[in-house]
Structures are given as C-alpha cells and as structure tokens.
Amino acid sequence: MSEAGYLVVTAQRASDLIYELCAQSAQDIRPGVWPGIWPGIWIVPDNVCPAVPLALACAGADLRFVDIAAESLCLDTNKVAELAKKEHIAGVVYVRTFGMGAFAQNDLTNLRAVLPDAILIDDCCIGIPQTQMPETQNAADVILYSTGYGKTLDLGGGAYGFFKSDMGFKAGVQALAAQAFEALLTQSNEAIKGRVPVFANYNFTAPGFSVEGIPPAQDWLEYCKSIKMQLPDRLAQKAKLNAIYANGLAPFSPLSDDFQNWRFHIFVQNQEQVLEALFSAGLFASNHYSSVSKLWDLKPGIVSQKIEKNIINLFNDQHFSAKQARQAVAIINEIGKPLR
C-alpha cells in the first residue's frame, strides 16, 4: 500500500525488512537504482539490538560498528563522516536509541549530506509507532516501526516500514527463516552475558537462514486499526509510571522525557547490585543495550560501553503496576549510587 510517496510494507519482525532490503541491494536486481552502492560497508551503532547486525550479516553485509554520541546516545554522525573518507558506505542503520526523536532529523540530514547515495534506514522500532508519515521531510529511505515483544506498543508481534516509492523495493521476495534466526538471537544473547565473540568467523550466508516468497504479515489497514485502538491506553500507563519514577528518582535520571517512552532509564554506579536487589524483591528491570561489537571480537565504543555499565531500564508497561514502580523507587533510593 502507498502512503504519501512511500510504500508501506508489513512483516513479522523488523529484521525481516532490514534483511530483505539489504539482500535485494546486494543482488542488484533493480538496474539503475542505487548505482554504485554495492559492494560497500553497512554502518550500525554499537549499542544496537543484535537482531539488526545479524539480519544484515545474513544478507551478506560487511559490517562496521560505530560508537554513539554522548549527547544523543544515537549513532555518532561525525564518526560516520570520518569513516566515509576511508571506505565506501552502502548503507546506514540509524537507531533512535530508546525511541528518542529529538536529534534524529538533524542527524539523518547530516548523514544524507555526507552519503548522498547510501541507503539510510531510520530505525524507530522501540519508539511510539506512527501510522502516517510525519510532515517533516525525513532524509531516510526507509522508516521502520515494530509492535513486537517488549516494544513501546507490544502487540505480540509485527513490524512495518515506510519505503520511499522510488526505491524499487519489492516486498515479500524473501525473508529470514524464523527458527534459524531465532536461534542466532538466542546465541547472541547468551554470548553477550559471557562476552564471547561467537560471530568473529561465523558463516552467515550458509543455507538455512533465508526463505523465499514471504507475503506481508498482515493487512495494513487492520494493523493500523489495532495500533490506534491500543496505543492510547498503553501511553497513559507509561505516563502514570514515568511520573512515579521521575518524582522519586530525579538524581538518577539525567535524560529528557523524549528518551523515556519505551522504558524509564536511570544511571547508577552499582548496576549489578541494584538489579540484583530489584529481582530479589520480585520485580524486574533490564540493562539495554550492550555493545554488540564484542560479539564480532571488536573493540566496543567508549560511550556505548559506559552506557552499558551504568544504565538500568525500569518497566512502565501494562505488566508493571504503580505499586511495583513505587517499590522499585524505594529500593533504588536505598541502595543506588547516582552516576556523577
């Protein structure tokens, strides 16, 4: 379906769309589109969900992990510009860290100025899903959203992307084999815990990771209806719990509200101790995202590594109550050490 100059494509998960786009560009099945793009490297931020670089790797991409900027916590565009002087860049996945939007338009515009012919993906997967294109002109070629497990709006699955109509992208040609890719993700999650470089010499293009002729995951209009129907209640719950966290944990939370839609993020010196205390009390929290470059046996970025060591993501969705939020606040204030 077309939407104001964009082709809207749905899928089971966003990594399917990333994989399919990268695989199509690699196969050069569209003469005259993206001339001179392939071969080249693909840029991903070091603090990304492992599904993103794994999807690209399965499509045969040559990956480069770039650190994040201290202010935006998103891809450091200055480092990308420096890299562009040395290597040919085929594509960039710009991830809106924690769903943040404030820096994205400026960053994407800067990336487009440096990389006029590269494929730019604006990854909004853990942000608030938008069912219409924003009025502001987006410099990216593709804008991705997800309603999968653990996202800002968790519908139990599903993703969609706005692809610029002039790209020549063909939806449903091929996708990742779900079971094989899920096994890769499980392997990556276990490896991150033990800091094991499992993918340093991995053959991602071996048979078994791809299946052909995948139809769109669901009807776009029905998908929109589900999003619009459930999103207001989910956002109201997040606002309610975020108010509890913001009022009770001000010394621990230097981030603006724009970062806090997915989960509420705090920074502590004693991350492991606080997480252990929360889980011991029957609560839960997370510490996303880890530096994924170490899975490829590469040196992690300075900023992304610092974030990884100090961040805690507090839940604010329908699975967490106001009572639990207040309990978490009390525990953190008791034993947490704010990051100075």
Report which of 278, 260, 258, 261 is spatially closest to residue 332, judged by C-alpha positions: 278
Q: What residue ranges do the domains of the chain occupy?
A: 2-220, 229-335
pLDDT of residue 266: 97
pLDDT score recorded for residue 98: 94
3-state secondary structure of 10: strand
The alpha carbon of residue 170 and the mean position of all alpha carbons in its chain are separated, in whole angstroms, by: 23
Q: Which CATH architecture has domain 229-335?
A: Alpha-Beta Complex (3.90)
Which stretches of the chain are DSSP H helices?
14-27, 51-58, 77-84, 104-114, 178-194, 220-248, 271-280, 302-310, 322-335
What pLDDT is attached to residue 49? 93
Residue-level pLDDT at 29: 43
Tell me: cis bond preceding 289? Omega within 30 of 0 counts: yes
Tens digit of each residue's pLDDT (9 = 90 or more) over 248-304 = 999 998 899 999 999 999 999 999 999 999 999 999 999 998 899 989 999 999 999
Rounded Cα gap, residues 115 and 165, in angstroms: 19
Which residues on adjacent β-strands are paired with residue 186?
A: none
**In whole numbers, what is the pLDDT of the chain averaged over residues?**
89
Q: Give per-residue pLDDT as tens, 64-76.
A: 999 999 999 999 9
Give the model's pLDDT for residue 37: 56
**Between 102 and 31, residue with greater pLDDT:** 102
Q: What is the pLDDT of residue 217?
A: 64
User: Cα(5)–Cα(167) distance, rounded to whole angstroms?
Assistant: 11
Q: Assess whether pLDDT exceeds 70 at residue 215.
A: no
pLDDT at 35 over 70: no
Q: Which of 265, 128, 293 is nearest to 200 (CA)?
A: 293
Determine the pLDDT at residue 147. 96
Residue 193 has pLDDT above 80, yes or no: no
- Reported as a single tens digit per residue, the pLDDT across 297-340 is 999 999 999 999 999 999 999 999 999 999 999 999 999 999 87
321-329: long-range contacts, CB 8 A cutoff, minimum separation 24: 322/240, 322/241, 322/244, 324/283, 325/241, 325/244, 325/245, 326/244, 326/248, 327/281, 327/283, 328/245, 328/278, 328/283, 328/285, 329/244, 329/245, 329/248, 329/249
pLDDT band at 192 (very low <50, low <70, confident <90, very high): confident
SS (H, E, C) 121-145: EEECCCCCCCCCCCCCCCCCCEEEE
pLDDT at 133 over 80: no
CATH of 2-220, one of 3.40.50.720, 1.10.3720.10, 3.40.640.10, 3.90.850.10: 3.40.640.10
Say what the pLDDT of residue 2 is.
59
Say what the pLDDT of residue 51 is: 94
Confidence at residue 326, expressed as pLDDT on a 0 to 100 scale: 98
